Structure formats: structure tokens, C-alpha cells
Chains A and B, each alone.
Chain A
Amino acid sequence: MTPQLDLRNVTKRFGGVAAVDGVTFSIAKGEILGVIGPNGAGKTTLLNCISGVYRLDGGDIRWHGVSIAGLARLGVGRTFQIVKPFGSMTVRENVAVGALFGSDSERPPLRAAFDRADSVLELVGLRMKADLPVSALTIPDRKRLEVARAVATRPKLLLLDEVMAGLNNVEIDDALEMVRAVHETGVTVVLIEHVMRVIVGVCERVIVLDLGRTLADGQPDVVLRDERVIQAYLGERYARRLRGG
């Protein structure tokens, strides 16, 4: 079967430096894939390649077998590491904007966009806060909103860039419930995280990037015990913690 997303030898350079250097992997429809790796390994650059922010310097990205230039219209939604809501709008209005500029070929009428916003807010657990200004949201809720805006575009593939950073374990567990709820609607999810509670909690598969290349690719419980991953990324103390020591 053709994978939903297929990366072949994807390369992106900045000046002389290859931030992403010949990365190859594919994602099946409905998968949840984690991407981890040291700061500067190329994780966000890779997301930017998939979502069409950058033009590739080499390789190819195929969406259901067809080479793509990215963009929301194809059905790729994403969040940003630094949350970027429209500050003067309400929560509901922010999500409606996502619905208006989403992956459907025609722009929906305003009423339909707000209906879509309401159902997404229900899904991510923000329904009670729909009419609040964004400024009134707590940090965990702002992250929910960031996800809601991306989900409102009706993505088939959702890219989440460190949406759990700065949350404590209990807040993370709540956020994981949200990711599961979104995933259950049939969306494929790729998420970048440094928080292993997230990777272990929700990912079926994890890819480790190091220096722009794929260091490991497999089930979290196998990959996180890989000595090379511990050396390059996790460190000894964290590896012990994961083992429950």
C-alpha cells in the first residue's frame, strides 16, 4: 500500500550546513509518529520541509504517492513551537480562522466555519472557554488552542511542534488525552517532543534525528533503550529514569 507520506532522501541546507541530510522514512495513514533528537538536530526544519515552508535542496516528499510542495490545502496542519494566536480575538474566532482557511477546496460560509470551530473546541476540551479572549487562557490552554487551530483546517496529517513543552506531568497527561481524541478522528499525527512521557504515552513509533540524519526508527520502548540514542540524546541519568531507576 502507498504510504500517506513518503520522505526520500530529504535534504535542506542553510549556507553550507545540511540541517536535514538525506532523511528517508514513510508514515502510514492513521499513525502517531514521534520525532526526537538533540537541539539543532533538524527536527523543526524537517517539519518545515513537510509543511512546505521550505523548498527542498534534495530528495522528494510524496503525499499518497504524488510529489508535493506542501501547503494547508493538501491537508497538512501544523502548530508552531512558539504559540501564535490572534491576540485580539476570542478563542472561538481563532479556531474559526483555521476552519475558513482549511483543506477544503472551497472556503466555507462563516456560519459553517463557526460550527466547525465549536466541534473542534469540544474535541480539544476548550468548549467552556470559547468566548474568552486569548489573553485570558492559561499556558496549557493556549497550547490546546494552537492544536485546535490546526485541527480546524481539517488536516489529514497533523504536525505538532513541542506542544507539551513547559507543561508538568499531569498537564501533559491531559494534553495526551487531547492528542488521542484528535487521532481517533482519523488524523495521522507527527509530533516533535523532548518530553519522553509524551513519546512513551502516545507514539506507536519514534524517529531519532541527530545532525540531520536518522539515528533510529522504531517502537519507543526499543528506541529509547538504544545505546546510540542514550549517548546522543537521552543521557545516562534520563535513561536510568526511563528504566524506572
Chain B
Amino acid sequence: MAAEPLLHIKGLTAGFAAGPVLFGINVDIAQGELVALVGANGAGKSTLLGTLSGLVRASAGRIAFSGRDITNQRPEAIVMAGLAHVPQGRRLFDTMSVEKNLRLGAYARRDGNIDAELRNVLEYFPALKDKLNREARTLSGGEQQMVAIGRGLMARPKLLMVDELSLGLAPKIVDRLIDVVKEINTAGTALLLVEQDVLVALDVAQRAYVLENGRIVLAGAAADVKDDPNIRKAYLGL
């Protein structure tokens, strides 16, 4: 890994009023890497993404992104720094058009090149081209996930975090979305993929972290994690 990772998380503890959910997390993501974050329900995966996005407060430790300390920064400042978050369950603005949903992803940008980004997103997701004026809620689940990822891309992030890409989607749609995730990564954007379908995540990722009860218990090449006997038993059910 390069001397200066894109994302450097050191000793991160974070959580809610009832107490911490994450304990001393160390994670590094290099420029342009595709990393999977795996763990059971309730392990703290979404809380970790929320902490990175400034939605959940860190009580100890440090998050450095692109050479800057972003620990407990405001969410909009973190988006502007180049870290975008595609939340679990899409969280679109249901009654707004697809195009408005997408453009909102670029809301914080001041560089004016928004139309070019929109064209870029529609090249990744051509299915959205003739649906730009439709209300987001009228789209199928797969199309809504395309809008959610597209909205994240509109921020032109250096790192895109996707929470539960496959949730509630037909296998064939998951296939297609995974292909797009690879294309996005090949074009130079780093990705952090949180995925309940562990096989899908480990197949596409270069490296993986395993989170259990708020602690990283395993980190390594995705292929090695996939072959780890404990992982095969605890997550893959093999």
C-alpha cells in the first residue's frame, strides 16, 4: 500500500448515547482500491459508514481522508472532501424526479461541471436515461439503487461507500450493479462495499475487513478472507 492511504482510520471508537458501537477500529483504503466490509447484522458496519460520513460521533481515534483530518466534521464538508455515502435502503427523495435526485448529489459542488457528471452517470446506468422525469418512487428496486449510486457519483467522490448494494434486488440486477461497481472502480474511484451477500462482496473486492461486535477481527486479501475457515463457517454457511 502507498505510504499515504486515501482513507486512514486509526483507533476509532464511536456510537450513540447508549454507548459505543465501534471499538478501536483501524482501517486503511488506498487510492483506487475496492474494499469489502463484512459482518453480521448489528456488527456496526452501517455505524462505521455513518461515522465516516459525520453522521455518528466519534468519541476517540482519528479519521484522515485525502491527507486531512475529517473526524467529526460536518457531513457536507466530508462530501466536499470527496467521500460519498450510498445509504442502506437507497433513501431517495421519493416524490422528486430521478434527475433532481441525481443533481442533489452534486449540491455541494462549486465547480460547475454538473452536466458532464450527469452524462457520465447515465453512461453507467443507461436504463435511467428515459426515466429522468419520473418520480423516484415509481422506479423498480434495481433502478432506485442505480439512482442512489448515481447520486453518490454526482459528488465526484474519491471514495464511494455503498451500504447493502444487493438488498431486496433480483440476482440478475445485482450482477449488473456489481459490473458497474467494477467499472466505477476501474475509472479510478475507490470503493468501500458493505454487503450482506458476502460471496458477492468478496468476489469483487481486492481486500476485505471483517467486523464483529464493533471490532475488526480479520483483514486481508479478499480471496484469503473468503478461504478463511471461520469466515466460511460464520458468514458463508459453507
Contacts and interface: CB of A to CB of B under 8 A. Distances in A.
B183 to A, nearest CB: 15
B135 to A, nearest CB: 14
A169 B175 contact: no
Interface centre among B196, B235, B238 (most CB of A within 10 A): B196
B175 A194 contact: no
Contacts of A194: 168-171
Given A37-B170, A170-B234, A173-B237, A235 B176 contact: yes
Interface residues of B, number: 27
B27 interface: no
B80 interface: no
Interface in A3-50: 37-40
Nearest to A169: B237
B237 A233 contact: no
A139 interface: yes
A241 interface: yes
A83 interface: no
A59 interface: no
Contacts of A233: 170-172
B113 interface: no
Interface stretch (A96-104, A121-129, A146-154, A160-168): A160-168
A223 interface: no
Contacts of A241: 199
Interface residues of A, number: 29
A105 interface: no
Nearest to A41: B170
B142 interface: yes
A222 to B, nearest CB: 17
A140 interface: yes
Contact of A238 (B175, B196, B198, B235): B175
A140 B140 contact: no
A172 interface: yes
Interface centre among A81, A194, A234 (most CB of B within 10 A): A194
A138 interface: yes
A211 to B, nearest CB: 12
B33 interface: no
B218 interface: no
Contact of A138 (B42, B142, B197): B42
Interface in A74-95: 81
B207 to A, nearest CB: 19
Interface of A: 37-40, 81, 138-140, 162, 165-173, 194, 196-197, 232-238, 241
Interface of B: 40-42, 140-142, 164, 167-176, 196-199, 233-238
